Amino acid sequence: MTLVIGHEWNLLFANNPKIHAFAVTKDGAVVWQTDNWNLVEDIDEILKAADKDQPKVNTGGVTYKRVASSDDSYIATADDNKGHLILVLIDEHSWAIAFAAPSSVPELTIIDVRRTAIKLREHV
């Protein structure tokens, strides 16, 4: 599983270098994350925000405000050019989570994350 996720991360980053970090959760736990990101302490709050459509979520000391959400996705943007948090449902138990640079367009970046989530469906 970790080799597949790592491979898909490499493809995602090569396709969209404005995505700076990536993680995958299963059953509420982080099962894979890039070395430059640690979501373990904040994962409960992040997943709760996506599940409950909350207007804000905090991670890594940064507050992100919801921009858009649906049953299978959540986009939030931080003030002061601190980037975007993007979540896409992989399956009913797993999420792909990405951090994108402030210069990215989150409504377009989610397309890349969604494509990666689809590729991971049978591997998580």
pLDDT at 90: 98
Any idea what the CATH number is for the domain that residue 49 is in?
Answer: 3.30.450.30
Residues of the domain holding 24: 2-120
Top-confidence residue, 86 or 124: 86
Q: How far is residue 49 from each of residues 14, 17, 53, 105, measured CA to CA in Å?
A: 29, 26, 6, 21
pLDDT at 2: 87
pLDDT reading at 14 higher than 90 = yes
Under the banding of pLDDT at 50, 70 and 90, the label for residue 1 is confident
Which tens digits make up the pLDDT trace of 23-51? 999 999 999 999 999 999 999 999 999 99
Residue type for position 100: A
Can you give the pTM of this predicted structure? 0.96
**Total domains, the chain:** 1
Under the banding of pLDDT at 50, 70 and 90, the label for residue 74 is very high
**Average pLDDT for the chain:** 96
How many whole angstroms separate alpha carbon 68 and alpha carbon 71? 11
How many whole angstroms separate alpha carbon 73 and alpha carbon 97? 10
pLDDT reading at 101 higher than 90 = yes
Query: Phi, psi (5° rounding) for residue 90?
Result: -85, -50
